[in-house]
Amino acid sequence: MPSLGTSFGRGGATDFQQDLQNSDCIVIMGSNMAENHPVGFQWVMEARERGAKVIHVDPRFTRTSAMATKHVGIRAGSDIAFLGGVINYILQNNLHFAEYVEHYTNAPVIIDEEFADTEELDGLFSGWDPEQGEYDVQTWMYEGMEVHGAAGQREEGFDPTKGEQSGHGGGGSGLHHGEPPAEDPTLQHPRCVFQILKRHYQRYTPDFVAETCGCSVDDFVEVAEALVQNSGRDRTSAFCYAVGWTQHTVGVQMIRAAAIVQQLLGNMGRPGGGIVALRGHASIQGSTDIPTLYNILPGYLPMPHTEDYGGLDGYIAANTSPTGWWGHFDAYFVSLMKAYFGEHASADNDWLFESLPRIDDDNSAYFTVQQMLEGNVKGYIIAGENPAVGHANGKAHRLGLAKLDWLVVRDVVEIESAAFWYDSPEVESGELKPEEIATEIFFMPAAAHTEKDGSFTNTQRLLQWHWQAVDPKEDCRSELWFYFHLGRLIKQKLEESEDERDKLIKALRWEYPTHSAIREPDAESVLQEVSGWEIGSGKFLSGYKELKADGSTACGCWIYSGCFKEGINQTARKKPHWEQDTYVAPEWAWAWPDNRRLLYNRASADPDGNPWSERKRFVWWDAEQGEWTGLDQPDFDQQKPPDYVPPEDAEAEDAIAGDHPFIMQADGRSWLYVPQGLEDGPLPTHYEPHESPFDNPLYSQRANPRRQQNKDLAEDPYNPVANEPGSDVYPYVVTTYRLTEHHTAGGMTRSVPYLAELQPAMFCEVHPDLAREVGLEHGGWATIYTSRSAIEARVMVTDRVRPLRMKDGRTVHQVGLPYHWGKRGLITGDSANDLAHMALDPNVHIQEVKAFTCGIRPGRRPRGPELPKFVAELREQAHSRREQDPRVEPEELRKTSS
Amino acid sequence: MALSKLLDSWPVLRQLREGDPLGLGKAVQSPRSQTLVPRIDEAEHVVHSICPYCAVGCGQLIYVSDGEITHIEGDPASPISRGRLCPKGQASKSFVQSPLREYKVKYRRPYGTQWEELSLDDAMDMIAERIIKTRADTWEWKTEDGNPANRTMAIGNLGGATLDNEENYLIKKLMTGLGIVQVENQARI
Amino acid sequence: MNLLQELLEPTGDPDGWDAYGDEQKERVGFFTDTSVCIGCKACEVACKEWNLIPEDGRVWTGESYDHTSQLGANTWRHVAFVEQRKPLIGDGNGDGSTGLRWLMESDVCKHCTHAACLDVCPTGSLFRTEFGTVVVQQDICNGCGYCVPACPFGVLDQRKIEATTDPPPAILGRKEDGRVWKCTLCYDRLKGGHEPACAKACPTKSIQFGPLEELRERADARLAKLEAEGWNGAQLYGRDPDDGVGGFGAFFLLLDEPEVYGLPPDPVVTTRDLPEMWTNMLAAAGTLLVGVAALTFLGRRG
Amino acid sequence: MREKLHPLSDLNGKPPGTTSWSGSITEAGTDMRSYYGRPIVKEPTWTWEIPAYFFTGGLAGASSVLSSAARISGNETLARRALYIGAVADLVSPALLISDLGRPERFHHMLRVVKVTSPMNLGSWVLLVNGGATTTAAALQLLGKWKPLRIAASAVAALAGPPLATYTGVLVADTAIPVWHEGRQELPWIFGASAAASAGAMAAMFVPPRDAGPARRLAVAGVLAEGALMQAMELRLGKIGEVYHEGEAGKFSSAAKGLALAGAALLARRGRKSRTSAVLGGALVCAGEVCLRWSVYKAGFQSARDPKYVVESQRRRAERDGTKATTKPGDNPAPPSRGA
């Protein structure tokens, strides 16, 4: 999460779930926690029972709202307007936690005088390049901070622009011993971050919020007040979010907005505070820490790009921050290369850096699908994912798969992505015919979690080991087995090859002990490599501080370093919580980094190192002992005193002052304003969703100018928007979501009898007014359609999805769609994602399925060939009208004018 | 002899003997009820595990008897879940023993109209061959504008959010070694 | 005599429980607090997983998020969902003023102090355990079905699908299970010292298991708290030993009248009126005897 | 609407709710007075064998009394025929009961216990005694042997007969089904009367009119008594009783009245003279009694299906007796101590 990464330094939830019980106010927004994280929600209920306010801000009244002390319904996609309103409310009324903001955030920092705000440029920040459709971030910098790297912003701050997690706040190269060149502690300077913030949000008044979000002024003020009254020295508030924020074309900025609120209120790094990112998969945090993502290497080290760095040094330099913990980038990278290539990687051959594959700006999943459709991708391996149902615009994915030469699908059941060639809407409609599909398909039965050893990293960065209970049956195998033996086979077959191309794979260290009849690789030996050792002695590393850049240490993921310290699998620690002294339970499993459970916890003490209050004491400076101590592992150099001032020549962590808690940041502070690391602006700004029935009330710039679109992709047409002619064909806002009873694309739940019966059919949730408007009957059928496709669903007429009255007196109706269904399984139904488009957030390339537009009518959808016809007719109808009077997006206008 | 035994066990007599004249309690307790033992107490071994669904990370206890899972329930020792599970986590046993679970490799040849059988070893070998060939056919040393590439853009790998860290590590390591850069997972989605 | 006394003036003690003497355990039960129920249905699944209950059909009912509909032979925990245009707390102005509330309640067998199903069971299959709970013994039940209409809560039902455990012999037996099933309060788990599956799973401890006395005290405190906070409709259901079934072994905190959740407002153990019915019957029988005789002899004279 | 809401509701044997709504499910929930109109108490799982047994059991019970009475009064023919009728009925009854069980092979579990709280259990014992006695007596009668034993057996049968004929009334009354439980005062009487009527009618069919006088009187008296009792019950049941005028229960109930009264009239006016009328009349009465059993049986199902009967009857009782199952804020509940 570059949002959290750029703001605080690490792309992970800042708090742990159990700590929510200490919150005085919990705002759940962009999340349906009670339904999708029911067991984690027990900690919210604990807080509620202790008298905490629980506020749910969401387009729908869900099982979470039912448990909240306050629910505010807002229009899907208007979250930044709401949070911006909170920020403005705090600033206008001077309600921020002054001492915290001055010392721990970059509020006092003065910004380059070239910087121009959206308020000045009608919805664009300075540096917009209409040709490229990108920002040049030079003008966003701290005043007097030189920017280097020919390729501009990409090279700054850990390749912020290239993928969800890479946006670590390592930026700020050239900071003078960790201190920004120019700041104003009084926060009065017109160009200091604090004042810029004030100006940027001055128009986000309660009335504006009400008109834009469709809630009442009172409800908004009640929420803002609740947050303010429950923050400060003696009280803390927490935010919980999930993909309800992430899955927007401004998803990253939504999270950023919450980050700003929490900084102004001084809730970061403190018990019962922070921002809890609620992840939806068992190891989705792990799969970004140890990425199966194109743009990063383990530990958020950026993949090298397709340009000439001038050798390893160039790459290191471009990614090293002189100050803060990113100062040791070289050690992290070299240790990874040693783990990957062992003795083959040496100082003389630059640790094989030049042989590493290079990436382009975007090689993400949606890019790959487009490449499939264009026939550029020949082979594809799918392991535990179901794009045919789970990805936006399922049809495009299915058509793409049909263009492959070969496809490997690994799963426990035969999912839609394996069966698309004979059982899919396209086969039904005749758009795909099995006898015409050239794709060779291997379905490989997978082993379940009960049939293998391994570790999951949960939503709070906790690595938890699970032991194998039984042997996998017949052909079922773990991914560990599949990829290990696949690699072994390939290396075997290429043993003799002299081809330069095969140098790297031949150099790959690939020896792992195996056990049992099927020769299952030993998972712990892999974890040992991840944790790292000292080459030669073979001594296990105790943490990333021991990593060396001289090739004397090997470590597969620097932030996980120490998870096998002393040769003990730290992730397998299962000491019961009742046998531990504190609720922090540090001896249960292992958290990155360095087993710290509450990140930035130095901030739980005031600048002098004393707890802000007795009630909220967590980590503090023990003067006698001369060290930081408390309930948790201090997220700070343990011996660095609060009054430490870095010497002139200080580097890396030594350049971080004793009263700057955010040790991953170049300046040791949290960033209210992000000078670099984000594609679409240093501050969150309200933009309408890519598809929305409304214009932007603030600017002529309607949607995020930097959002990724596929304008030329026939398979991904967009609905006319706002007041465009033709937009009335798709007049309603649709939002997709999960239900407690099912899991994502349904492969793991539609196959389970006990779960299938609990939510047995696809349905849509609509308000009685909408039902009346279009003639839907409760319990009947509805057909929902967009430019992409049409699906059918049973109708649930309920007040829980409320229509919202907007500024212009228009009423906007919202349609709720769970997205769990597909054509396979014990229960089947149409897939909501077939309706969605593939316009993406520019930072993380995530699709906008939480807010787009649709039409809805009573009755079941057309069958067979009639379906695509039905969709096409409506699309033509809408688009032809648009063509007569084409609307040009402002960013386009600017292009032509320049 | 046997008859008297039978008589002894006849609840009507027990009603009088065991002070339960109404026959509502102890007197009518059946042999099964008298000897009932919970199957988790009979399990051969218990395994500490973690729920495979969402990222809350609830602890699970897996009970096993003669090679089969007999029950899965929450692990009270976990400071996060305290032994509790949601319906999905609670259904984990039914999931791993799902009636739809696949146990055999299935192969679909180009233009084929049904699945065919294929041995695991052959499948692995064929997949390895496909990767090697596709990679050789589509390798690029340089991009159009002459920058270093060292890769193939013709192969992709999707998935990881539901896998173990160790598995993700091997995937990224192997793909990087092979010059395959299009490695993605649900975290994107 | 014990018998007569039991019949004529039932005390607060569960019928048949005292028979255990030293083997008797502390009476345990459930307190289901709907004010913290998040409607996740973990209890339904936990129950089925533990008791190996067959699935109950895949029916989309349209009744909010409830698709299992009711307790029966194949659903021993059932979560009811009711959406209402009423505020959860107060008059809708203060906190929680959404004007909407979503009631969720996990229903289960009440393990009545005076249990009709137990009384009427002709085989002794239903019995009172040493824990004071009411259990159907599957090795005894012959599927006469008498307990089904006898239960004032409609908890029990006959399993009409093929037998999953000890199937009947071919000759007389039918293919289908034919026996009656219901919540056992996890009798086997209790014997092993484990808490029932549903209570253990419940993420928010809406389902609380424990000694009944303790639960009742907890419930009273909870009700007082909710009253102080101004929750609408808060009431305990089945907590009072003086009600028609002598108090529930598994009782509830509801946020609306019982019938809204599909529960009888004032359930009574049918056998409470049994003495009256027996006397009645004897009178009728006597009359029949006399009547027939009279009519016969009458004839001889006429 | 209901069908739409419950496309598959028969698949899992769940009766659909009876309420239908046009607005939103929220609107429906707001002023719902039952759970989507779903039943609160379950319908019996019993099938046709049960009402059939109500008839045969009654017939057996009353016949054994009739037989003994006739013997004492010196009407040997009637005594004999009634004895045989009773024996046959006694043999049919257990067959019917066993075939209704979910686990027929476990029928003997009925005799596992003696439970005064279970009408079905005591009924089984009574049926055993009466059946045993009657069939023994009948057998000995056929063989013409061991007179003393036969007399003893008949005596036992005669004493066990009336309970057998009436306990079924208690059996249905001892349930949570409103129309049955609320009818507990009349039901044993009605079933007794019906038993008498059927025994009389059946005998009237198989006994020459000359000797069938008592049987005819019994039939007529039974029919009249049961008619009056039914009226009384419905009157007292009030709204709950309306099921006797609706659906199948309604049809059977009026059929019962019609057939029984017609048969009784025929027996009374021409039964002594014409054998044909005697047979016809007896048959009509028996048919009527069968219908009566069925109407009571069906009424129970209808009463269980609609939750309003449960709610309204209980609300009314609570109103009347000040009883309740809920504890609201302000009530001071009895101290927990009494509980366990």
Kindly indicate the confidence band of residue A176, based on its pLDDT and cuts at 50, 70 and 90: low
The vertex-A459 CA angle with A359 and A329, nearest 5°, equals 40
* Cβ A14 vs Cβ A226: under 8 Å: no
* Cβ A676 vs Cβ A181: under 8 Å: no
3-state secondary structure of D327: strand
Chain A interface includes C59 (CB < 8 A): yes
Of D113, D116, D117, the CB nearest to B11: D113
3-state secondary structure of A238: strand
Cα–Cα distance measured from residue A159 to residue A441, given in angstroms and rounded to the nearest whole number: 36
Chain A interface includes C290 (CB < 8 A): no
H or E element, residue D142: helix D119-143
* Ranges of chain C with pLDDT below 70: 1-12, 92-98, 171, 173, 299-302
In B, which residues are within 8 Å of A521 by CB distance?
Answer: 170
User: Measuring CA to CA, which residue among C294, C281, C280 is closest to residue D65?
Assistant: C294
Kindly indicate the confidence band of residue A888, based on its pLDDT and cuts at 50, 70 and 90: low
* HSE value, Cβ hemisphere, 13 Å, CA-based, for A152: 11
At A153 the pLDDT is: 31
At C94 the pLDDT is: 45
- Residue A768 and residue D27: Cβ atoms within 8 Å? yes
- CA D17 from centre of chain: 28
- CA C232 from centre of chain: 26
User: Measuring CA to CA, which residue among A156, A185, A183 is closest to residue A169?
Assistant: A156
- B-chain residue closest to D111, CA distance: B12
Instruction: Tell me the whole-structure pTM to 2 decimals.
Output: 0.94
Residue B77 has pLDDT above 60, yes or no: yes
- D-chain residue closest to A780, CA distance: D4
Kindly indicate the confidence band of residue B3, based on its pLDDT and cuts at 50, 70 and 90: confident
DSSP, residue by residue, B38-100: -HHHH-SEEEEEE-SSSTT--EEEEEEETTEEEEEEE-TT-TTTTT---HHHHTHHHHHT-TT
Chains that contact A by 3+ CB pairs under 8 Å?
A: B, C, D
At D3 the pLDDT is: 34
Cα–Cα distance measured from residue A482 to residue A488, given in angstroms and rounded to the nearest whole number: 10
- Residue A458 and residue B57: Cβ atoms within 8 Å? yes
At C300 the pLDDT is: 53
Chains that contact B by 3+ CB pairs under 8 Å?
A: A, C, D
What number is the average pLDDT over the span D166-173?
97
What number is the average pLDDT over the span B109-133?
98
Residue D332 has pLDDT above 70, yes or no: no
Cα–Cα distance measured from residue B85 to residue B60, given in angstroms and rounded to the nearest whole number: 8
ipTM of the complex: 0.94
Phi, psi of D74 (to 5 degrees): 85, 10
Cα–Cα distance measured from residue D88 to residue A813, given in angstroms and rounded to the nearest whole number: 73
In B, which residues are within 8 Å of D111 by CB distance?
Answer: 12
The whole-angstrom distance between B102's CA and the closest CA on chain C is 21
User: Measuring CA to CA, which residue among A427, C47, A451 is closest to residue B101?
Assistant: A451
* Cβ C117 vs Cβ C16: under 8 Å: no
At C96 the pLDDT is: 43
pLDDT in tens, A470-490: 999 999 999 999 999 999 999
Amino acid at A9: G
pLDDT in tens, A767-785: 999 999 999 999 999 999 9
At D8 the pLDDT is: 33
Length of chain B: 189
Locus of tokens 């607060």 = C12
β-strand pairing of B68-74 with B45-50: unpaired
The whole-angstrom distance between B89's CA and the closest CA on chain A is 10
At A165 the pLDDT is: 31
The whole-angstrom distance between A240's CA and the closest CA on chain C is 17
* Cβ A123 vs Cβ A200: under 8 Å: no
Among A48-52, A373-377, A811-815, B5-9, the range scoring the smallest mean pLDDT is: B5-9
Take residue A543 and report the two structure tokens written for it: 């943490």
Kindly indicate the confidence band of residue D5, based on its pLDDT and cuts at 50, 70 and 90: very low
pLDDT in tens, D214-239: 999 999 999 999 999 999 999 999 99
The vertex-B102 CA angle with B101 and B108, nearest 5°, equals 145
- C-chain residue closest to A69, CA distance: C96
H or E element, residue A129: strand A128-129
In D, which residues are within 8 Å of A797 by CB distance?
Answer: 23-25
Residue D176 has pLDDT above 50, yes or no: yes
At D4 the pLDDT is: 34
Take residue A893 and report the two structure tokens written for it: 């206008």
Kindly indicate the confidence band of residue A323, based on its pLDDT and cuts at 50, 70 and 90: confident
Chain C interface includes A776 (CB < 8 A): no
| Rg of chain A on CA atoms, in Å | 27
User: Measuring CA to CA, which residue among A789, A13, A24 is closest to residue A389?
Assistant: A789
Residue A507 has pLDDT above 60, yes or no: yes
In A, which residues are within 8 Å of B174 by CB distance?
Answer: 483, 486-487, 508, 510
- Mean per-residue pLDDT of chain D: 89
Centre a 10 Å sphere on the Cβ of residue C237 and count the other Cβ atoms it contains. Answer: 27
Centre a 10 Å sphere on the Cβ of residue B103 and count the other Cβ atoms it contains. Answer: 11
pLDDT in tens, A247-296: 999 999 999 999 999 999 999 999 999 999 999 999 999 999 999 999 99
At A119 the pLDDT is: 96
Take residue B134 and report the two structure tokens written for it: 């596709």
* Cβ D198 vs Cβ D62: under 8 Å: yes
At D337 the pLDDT is: 43
- CA A178 from centre of chain: 28
The whole-angstrom distance between C247's CA and the closest CA on chain A is 28
- B-chain residue closest to D116, CA distance: B22
Q: Output the CA–CA distances (angstroms, integers) from residue A109 to A2, A141, A195, in the order listed.
A: 21, 10, 10
Amino acid at A538: G
In B, which residues are within 8 Å of D114 by CB distance?
Answer: 12, 15, 23
Cα–Cα distance measured from residue A299 to residue A292, given in angstroms and rounded to the nearest whole number: 12
Kindly indicate the confidence band of residue B120, based on its pLDDT and cuts at 50, 70 and 90: very high
In C, which residues are within 8 Å of D217 by CB distance?
Answer: 295, 298-299
Burial class (CB in 10 A: 0-12, 13-18, 19+), A809: exposed
pLDDT in tens, D79-125: 999 999 999 999 999 999 999 999 999 999 999 999 999 999 999 99
pLDDT in tens, A845-869: 999 999 999 999 999 999 999 999 9
At A167 the pLDDT is: 41
Kindly indicate the confidence band of residue B32, based on its pLDDT and cuts at 50, 70 and 90: very high
- Residue C281 and residue D188: Cβ atoms within 8 Å? yes
* Cβ A788 vs Cβ A836: under 8 Å: yes
- Residue C40 and residue A53: Cβ atoms within 8 Å? no
Which of A754, A781, A797, A828 to mutate to test binding with chain C, by most C CBs within 10 Å of its CB? Answer: A754
- Mean per-residue pLDDT of chain A: 93
What number is the average pLDDT over the span D265-286?
92
Centre a 10 Å sphere on the Cβ of residue A748 and count the other Cβ atoms it contains. Answer: 28
Q: What are the b/e assignments for C261-291, b being 16+ CB within 10 Å?
A: bbbbbbbbbbbbbbeebbebbbebbebbbeb
Residue A308 has pLDDT above 60, yes or no: yes
Chain D interface includes B10 (CB < 8 A): yes
The whole-angstrom distance between B39's CA and the closest CA on chain A is 16
The whole-angstrom distance between B151's CA and the closest CA on chain C is 47
3-state secondary structure of A49: helix
Which of B119, B142, B144, B172 to mutate to test binding with chain A, by most A CBs within 10 Å of its CB? Answer: B172
The whole-angstrom distance between C293's CA and the closest CA on chain B is 35
Could you tell me what percent of chain D has a pLDDT over 90?
A: 79
Kindly indicate the confidence band of residue A887, based on its pLDDT and cuts at 50, 70 and 90: low
- Residue B159 and residue A383: Cβ atoms within 8 Å? yes
At A897 the pLDDT is: 52
At B33 the pLDDT is: 95
The vertex-D314 CA angle with D313 and D316, nearest 5°, equals 65
* C:5-34 residues touching chain B, CB 8 A cutoff: 6, 15-21, 23
In B, which residues are within 8 Å of C187 by CB distance?
Answer: 33, 36
* D:136-195 residues touching chain C, CB 8 A cutoff: 158-159, 161-163, 165-167, 169-171, 173-177, 180-181, 184-185, 188-189, 191-192, 195
In D, which residues are within 8 Å of B28 by CB distance?
Answer: 112-113
Length of chain A: 898
At A883 the pLDDT is: 73
Chain C interface includes D110 (CB < 8 A): yes
Chains that contact C by 3+ CB pairs under 8 Å?
A: A, B, D
- Residue C154 and residue D184: Cβ atoms within 8 Å? no
Phi, psi of D98 (to 5 degrees): -65, -40
Residue B189 has pLDDT above 70, yes or no: no
Could you tell me what percent of chain A has a pLDDT over 90?
A: 87
Residue D12 has pLDDT above 50, yes or no: no
Residue D301 has pLDDT above 60, yes or no: yes
